[in-house]
Amino acid sequence: MSLLVMKFGGTSVADPARIRAAADKVAAEVGRGHNVIVVVSAMAGRTNELVNWVSGIAPFYDAREYDAVVSSGENVTAGLMALTLQQMEIPARSWQGWQVPLRTTSAHGAARIVEIPRANIDAKFAEGMRVAVIAGFQGISPEGRITTLGRGGSDTSAVAFAAAFGAIRCDIYTDVDGVYTTDPRISRRARKLDRIAFEEMLELASLGAKVLQTRSVELAMRYGVPLRVLSSFEPTDDTSGTIVCAEEELMESRVVAGVAHSRDEAKMTLMGVQDRPGIAAAIFGPLAEGHVNVDMIVQNISEDGRTDMTFSCPVDQVPRAGRALRAAQEAGAIAFEALVADTEVAKVSIVGIGMRSQAGVAARMFRTLAEEGVNIKVITTSEIKISVLIDRKYMELAVQALHDAFELHAAG
């Protein structure tokens, strides 16, 4: 019997009525002859509530106890979903991470999945269970402690189960009806994509698109798990949502698949840095140790043995970055004349696997922004993406202009 994985996010299971609506979708798949693994998140807002409780009691908390508390939200949802399905006369059972067991590393709060043995769940399917409801986001460490996979980890849980059990597909149910060419809240001409390549989705997710968690897309690409993103709040059929798949499964690759944006960016510049071998390592080593997520990096041409080094990072990490760099300066590891932070910038990116074989994409992007009077502060590129850092006040204008320039509203 074929197996399908269905994942429901927090808004999809926000209360008993929504859990019942999600259970109806599960029942429909059981009726089509599938065994189903359902992965659930905590009810909307519950994880934030639990995190705030922990922080309120112990600002410098024990990460093991943090995981024990914040994982409990998923346990509640899993139990309620299993009870709802049982009331619908569908054989279902809930599973917490340790019961599977979903084995992880010991990195509490950001654990990585090591293994998902199939024996326990397969045995229950053989006994007549039709639905296994899994508490997402959680696992068990080698020491026998509950671990969590980081925020958005239920997506990763779902893809991992689909890979481990050879599922025909992993359906991610959320509050949007698919992956769009850009944020529909910014551009009314945004269009839902029928299909998108893993690589494109991975870039869009890492650049600010909130539809899927980055780690889940990485995992799906590695193991070839087809993903489908669709809405919990609309009727579902075989044409619903967006399929995330291998590039070979696309009929033809558009030059640009989508425009992504990240509003909460900052640009930091170290001025008057000594230009010598190893200076980049001396700068970015302390930033890495300080858990600063550096993205775009630009080094100016050296003059008189001095250069400027610019990088971007999330705006809420600016104080942490400043502390790390000044500490390195005081320790004599680096020398610079000034550290300047611009916290009023945004990142706008275009993504598409068709860029590999199409010339002139960057020129078209830069010309479009110039025509709108948008100044580019930093540029980075990869094989299938171009990102620019601009003043935040121009972000929506830039997204709309690029979406129109590459005609992403048009099908085909």
pLDDT digits (tens, 9 = 90+) for 397-412: 999 999 999 999 876 5
The full length of the chain comes to 412
DSSP codes, 252-296: S--S--EEEEEEEEEEEEEEEEE--TTHHHHHHHHHHHTT-----
What is the identity of the amino acid at 182?
A: T
Least confident of 23-37, 82-96, 249-263: 249-263
Portion of the chain with pLDDT greater than 70, in percent: 98
Q: What is the pLDDT of residue 294?
A: 93
Phi, psi of 318, deg, nearest 5: -60, -50
Cβ neighbours around 246 below 10 Å, total: 13
Question: Which has the closest alpha carbon to 368: 398, 393, 389, 345?
Answer: 398
Task: Identify the DSSP state of 247.
Answer: G
Residues 263-296 have pLDDT tens digits of 999 999 999 998 888 999 999 999 999 989 999 9
The annotation status of 105 as a binding-site residue, yes or no, is no
Give yes or no for a contact between 8 and 41, defined as CB atoms under 8 angstroms apart: yes
Q: What is the pLDDT of residue 251?
A: 66
Beta strands in 1-60 (DSSP E): 3-8, 35-40
Give yes or no for a contact between 267 and 389, defined as CB atoms under 8 angstroms apart: yes
The annotation status of 174 as a binding-site residue, yes or no, is yes
Give yes or no for a contact between 228 and 171, defined as CB atoms under 8 angstroms apart: yes
Distance CA 280, CA 284 (A): 6
The annotation status of 152 as a binding-site residue, yes or no, is no
What is the identity of the amino acid at 10?
A: G
Give yes or no for a contact between 283 and 273, defined as CB atoms under 8 angstroms apart: yes
The token pair that represents 376 in the structure block: 């580019």
Question: Which has the closest alpha carbon to 298: 209, 376, 203, 384?
Answer: 376
Q: Provide the CB-side half-sphere exposure for 297 (13 A, CA).
A: 8
Portion of the chain with pLDDT greater than 90, in percent: 81
Q: Report the C-alpha dihedral over residues 24, 26, 27, 29, rounded to 10 degrees.
A: 130
Cβ-based burial of 298 (10 A; exposed 0-12, middle 13-18, buried ≥19):
middle
pLDDT category, 252, cuts 50, 70, 90? low
The residues with which 339 forms a beta bridge, in sequence order, are 270
Distance CA 411, CA 115 (A): 41
The annotation status of 343 as a binding-site residue, yes or no, is no
Over residues 133-144, mean pLDDT: 97
Distance CA 242, CA 179 (A): 6
What is the identity of the amino acid at 186?
A: I
Q: Could you tell me the pTM of the whole model?
A: 0.84
Q: Please name the residues in contact with 218: beta carbons below 8 A apart, sequence gap of 6 or more.
A: 202
pLDDT greater than 80 at residue 1: no
Q: What is the pLDDT of residue 412?
A: 56
Distance CA 187, CA 324 (A): 39
| Average pLDDT over all residues of the chain | 93
The annotation status of 233 as a binding-site residue, yes or no, is no
Distance CA 377, CA 334 (A): 25
The annotation status of 211 as a binding-site residue, yes or no, is yes
The annotation status of 10 as a binding-site residue, yes or no, is yes
Structural domains of the chain, with CATH? 3-175 (3.40.1160.10), 259-405 (3.30.2130.10)
What is the identity of the amino acid at 270?
A: L
Residues 339-359 have pLDDT tens digits of 999 999 999 999 999 898 888
The annotation status of 74 as a binding-site residue, yes or no, is yes
